[in-house]
Amino acid sequence: MRGGLDRSRHGETSEALYLNSGFVYPDAETAAARFAGEDDGFVYSRYGNPTVEMFEQRMCLLEGAEACYGTASGMSAVFGALASQVEAGDHIVASRALFGSCFQIVNTILPKFGVETTIVDGQDLDAWRAAIRPGTKLVFLETPSNPTLEVIDIAAVAELAHAAGAKVVIDNVFATPILQKTLPLGADIVVYSGTKHIDGQGRCLGGAILSTKEFKEETLKPFLRHTGPSLSPFNAWVLLKGLETLKLRVLHQSAAALSIAQTTRSLNGVKRVIYPMLDCHPQAALCRDQMTAGGTILTFELEGGRDRCFDVLRKLQIVDISNNLGDTKSLITHPASTTHRNLGEEGRAEVGITEGMLRLSVGLENTDDLIGDLEQALSA
């Protein structure tokens, strides 16, 4: 709430929005000293900005990390965290059930630059063991995953990675910093899309990379300053306000998601409900170890495939059709025809995404109203 506040001489309550690109210097000597790194004042907003810095400091406190680098989007955080560390000939091991664009980065984009990637079933520790080899540079994973909510044993994978000298990068978007702290479990670098729960109100894009100070200074800065995926001060200001209500929103939306998951199981035509804290989740025990609640998203499978899903989407009156998630408005999507369309039928089969699957991001509406909306859409 209060961390990172850098109040100006005007004494504003809310953080000031420094919507500027450049900075002026009192004299040429100061300018020279800033460029020489002897004076830590601001130089240019691609390098740093007071509002962006307030967001970064608040994120550090929330995550329990030494350093944070704010970025323009979640994807620039993921790409920056990975690409800043590798060069041609390096080897990455990643879990298969990744956010679509994350999969593109490890499977298509980095290999174009000579980085070798091995993709594994993240739930299978033997697969990680077989894929990680001495000299593997990075291990990248997302847990719970999108949209099948698979859970990966972070501590076990981190132990394998560290034994081989690899760093562990975790996309913690679905869990949020409220429900899952991955640094104590062995993550070296944590990435977020600020677009999701951190803003959580559908307003802007943003991202963050959390790490040690040394990693930020020596690895991230030289890469990100020159490639330029800078977080806009305006977006940083929006995200700062989002952080103030993040805990309340995530805890409420998680409790609502659990209650909707429990109810949806018995609704007409529902084959299966996937939610990390349900007893029927294959890794329910691991979820309870790693997370303090199951998250704001649930996935369910209907009998009747795509036609039936589209029919339900047509009938929903409160929940909107959208591929976004973590919003205060409940949003639903049919992953096979939207977010995971590019994977192709075979790719979707490999990660268990079926034509009858719907992913629901639970918002802040009255939970009974949401259950009522699902009931009426499914009953017809």
Ligand X SMILES: *Cc1c(COP(=O)(O)O)cnc(C)c1O
* Residues found near ligand X in the complex (CB under 6 A): 73-75, 78, 99, 102, 142, 146, 171, 173-174, 193, 195-196, 205, 207
Closest listed residue to residue 41, CA positions, set 58, 60, 22, 56: 22
* Nearer CB in complex with ligand X: 195/333: 195
Q: Beginning with the edge strand found earlier in the chain, give each strand of the sheet holding 67-71 in spatial order.
A: 67-71, 207-211, 189-193, 167-171, 138-142, 91-95, 116-120
Q: How far is the CB of 145 from ligand X (least distance, A)?
A: 8
Instruction: Return the bridge partners of 91, or none.
Output: 116
State phi, psi for 316 to the nearest 5 degrees. Answer: -65, 135
Q: How far is the CB of 26 from ligand X (least distance, A)?
A: 38
Q: How far is the CB of 295 from ligand X (least distance, A)?
A: 11
What angle (nearest 5°) sits at the alpha carbon of residue 332, between those of residues 175 and 62? 20
Q: How far is the CB of 205 from ligand X (least distance, A)?
A: 5
* Nearer CB in complex with ligand X: 140/300: 140
Q: Quote the CA–CA distance of 67 and 211 in Å, as a whole number.
A: 5
* Nearer CB in complex with ligand X: 171/373: 171
* Nearer CB in complex with ligand X: 102/270: 102
Q: How far is the CB of 108 from ligand X (least distance, A)?
A: 16
Q: Quote the CA–CA distance of 140 and 96 in Å, as a whole number.
A: 10
Q: Which amino acid is at 376?
A: Q
Question: Could you tell me which residues come within 8 angstroms of residue 163 by beta carbon, excluding any fewer than 6 positions away?
Answer: none
End-to-end CA separation in angstroms for the chain:
45
Instruction: Return the bridge partners of 71, or none.
Output: 207, 230
In our burial notation (b when 16+ CB lie closer than 10 A, e otherwise), range 22-42 reads ebebeeeeebeebeeeeeeeb
* Nearer CB in complex with ligand X: 62/102: 102
Q: How far is the CB of 12 from ligand X (least distance, A)?
A: 28
Residue of closest CB approach to ligand X = 74
* Nearer CB in complex with ligand X: 195/230: 195
* Nearer CB in complex with ligand X: 45/71: 71
Q: How far is the CB of 158 from ligand X (least distance, A)?
A: 19
